[in-house]
Structure formats: C-alpha cells, structure tokens
Amino acid sequence: MPRFALVIVLVLPAAVLACGASEDPSPDLPAAAVGASNPAARLASARGATIAAGTARAAITATVALTGLPATSVTGKGVIDFGARRGASTIDLSPILPGPSSHPPTLDTIVDGGVVYVRSPLLDLLGPLETPWVRIDGADGPGGAGRRELAMVPGSDPLAPLTFLTAVEAASVEDLGSEEVGGVTTTHLRASVDLREAAAAAGVEALGRSLAALGAGRLTVDAHLDHDDRLRRLVYDHPLPPGWGDGSQRIELEYFDFGGRIDVDLPSEGEVSDLSAVLGSDS
C-alpha cells in the first residue's frame, strides 16, 4: 500500500485547481466570434469561455490502475478563482488509507498564484513533519528548487485541463452529440492533444517537463461544453510517468456553479513548513 499511496500523492493531479494555473488568464475569443457551429472552434474557445466565468466549483474522480493490483478510485471537490489564480481542493483518501469513518484521511491542496500548500497524512511518507501544511514556492525562477518541487505535487499539476485545450489538433475533433452533465445539456467533443504543444503552452519549465514525462505522443480527451462553451466535464486517460510502475490513471472532472463567490483561507505561517526543508534539499 505505501507504493500505491506514494503514486497518489505525487501523480494524482488536483486538476480542479490546475486548470487555473495558466500564467496568462486572459480569455480567448468566444465561439460566436469564430464560428459556433465548428466543433474545433468551440473547443479552442472553451479555455477563454471557462476563465471568463471568473469562478467555479469542481468535482474529480481519479482512478489509478497498477499492473497486478485492482484499480482504485478516489474522489474530491474543489473551488477555483481563475482570475486570482487561487483555489482549494480536498481529495478523500479513505479508499487507499485506513482511518475513522468520522474523519476520513484527505489530501488537501491550496493554490495561491505560484505557491502551493499541501496537507495530508500521505506526506508522512516524506519524513517527519512539524507542521500540518507543506508549502512549495515556485517563485524562485526557472530551474530553481521550488519549480522542480512544484512538478511533484498536486495543485501545480501540468495536466491542466485548460492547457490541454490550447493544444488540441483541430482535424481530430469529433462531435459526439448532446449529453447531459449535472442537469445541463452539453455537446460532447472528442479530440487529440499534442503533448509537446501543451508543454510549450504551459510556459513554466516544471510543468512542461512533467507533461513531457507522459510521452512524446498525444492524449485523447473527451470534453463536454455547455451552450456558453464553458467546460463542464473533461475525461482523459494517461500512463503513469516512468519510474512509478506499469499502469495508468483516468481523470474525470466536472465543473459547475460558475460565477459564484469563492473564499479560500491560506494557512498561517506557524502552520507551514517549506517542502525543501522537509526533503533536506538546498538545491
């Protein structure tokens, strides 16, 4: 179980947050401006339409399948402020970790711009902690320790859904018809994403490196867009990065309650340790 748990803490994306991690949150052109009847144009405009909503709530299901082990799913929820690049998520870890039913173990992540805070019993795998939260600061420049550490943890995940949408191959887009997601009628679009292009679009060295770790090829995504071309559901499968075992992960995301008020409380200084200090790394 420790091996599987370590895969979860280092590989499972808090994608509910990462979709707001773009360095440039400016919206793209709405679909109406580029041809709403064109599925490829709608998908290309979905990033901007989603960001333009300002805020959203989200739900995630992540299923990890390692060779020789049964597939295991964890679920979570979160909130996102796209403009402020701030959000918070909680993943229920009870399927992989024992704990009292009244207080199940969780993986809690807060993103505040380039800073990520993580709290979870899974962090005990990294060594003894003196504070409930660990902080990873990516502001020390490309190639710095914070940038490298951000590639390891949830909440700074390179598999940002909106980054994927910037790298869709237009000729691959398929319109699979209408489907209902959370009581909302959506258009189901399937497309291929060029991972190299997505890595370049991320604009952050650590994110690009981690995207490239998935392989040099392409990723198939299923995106469900509402009538305003906002992303309502995203589903994709990807192999686990080299070194984490032979297996794959399936991510299912849903977004809802666009435009509502989002409050995210940051941990106090006394509740936080830097990850570099926990790992004993000066580099």
Neighbouring CB atoms inside 10 A of 100's CB total: 8
Cα 101 → chain centroid: 27
Average pLDDT over residues 171-195: 94
By percentage, how much of the chain surpasses pLDDT 70? 66
Q: What is the pLDDT of residue 133?
A: 92
The radius of gyration computed from the CA coordinates of the chain, to the nearest angstrom, equals 18
Distance CA 89, CA 103 (A): 16
Q: What is the pLDDT of residue 42?
A: 93
- For the chain, give every domain's residue range: 2-256
Q: What is the pLDDT of residue 244?
A: 64
Q: What is the pLDDT of residue 65?
A: 85
Average pLDDT over residues 51-56: 92
The topology under which CATH files domain 2-256 is outer membrane lipoprotein receptor (LolB), chain A (2.50.20)
Q: What is the pLDDT of residue 143?
A: 42
Q: What are the residues whose beta carbons fall under 8 Å from the beta carbon of 144, sequence distance 6 or more?
A: 138
- Positive or negative torsion for Cα 92, 9, 74, 158: positive
Q: What is the pLDDT of residue 33?
A: 40
- Name the token pair of 191: 């497309």
**Among 136-150, 153-167, 218-232, 245-259, where is mean pLDDT lowest?**
136-150
With cut-offs at 50, 70 and 90, classify the pLDDT of residue 155: very low
Whether 9 contacts 155, CB under 8 Å: no
Whether 33 contacts 41, CB under 8 Å: no
pLDDT, the chain, mean: 75
Of 38 and 200, the structure prediction assigns the larger pLDDT to: 38
Q: What is the pLDDT of residue 257?
A: 95
Task: Please name the helix (run of DSSP H) or strand (run of DSSP E) that holds residue 1, with its range, or none.
Answer: none
DSSP string over 85-129:
TEEEEEEE-TTTS---TTS--EEEEEEETTEEEEE-GGGGGG---
- How do residues 232-269 score in pLDDT, each as one tens digit? 999 988 777 666 668 888 888 899 999 999 888 999 99
Neighbouring CB atoms inside 10 A of 51's CB total: 23
Would the pLDDT of 156 be above 80? no
| C-alpha dihedral, 50 to 54 to 57 to 58, nearest 10° | 30
Burial of 251 per CB tally in 10 Å (0-12, 13-18, 19+): buried
Q: What is the pLDDT of residue 193?
A: 86
With cut-offs at 50, 70 and 90, classify the pLDDT of residue 177: very high
**Among 72-86, 153-167, 182-196, where is mean pLDDT lowest?**
153-167
User: Rounded to 5 degrees, what are φ and ψ at 282?
Assistant: -100, -5
Distance CA 137, CA 114 (A): 6
- How do residues 187-209 score in pLDDT, each as one tens digit? 999 999 887 777 676 654 444 45
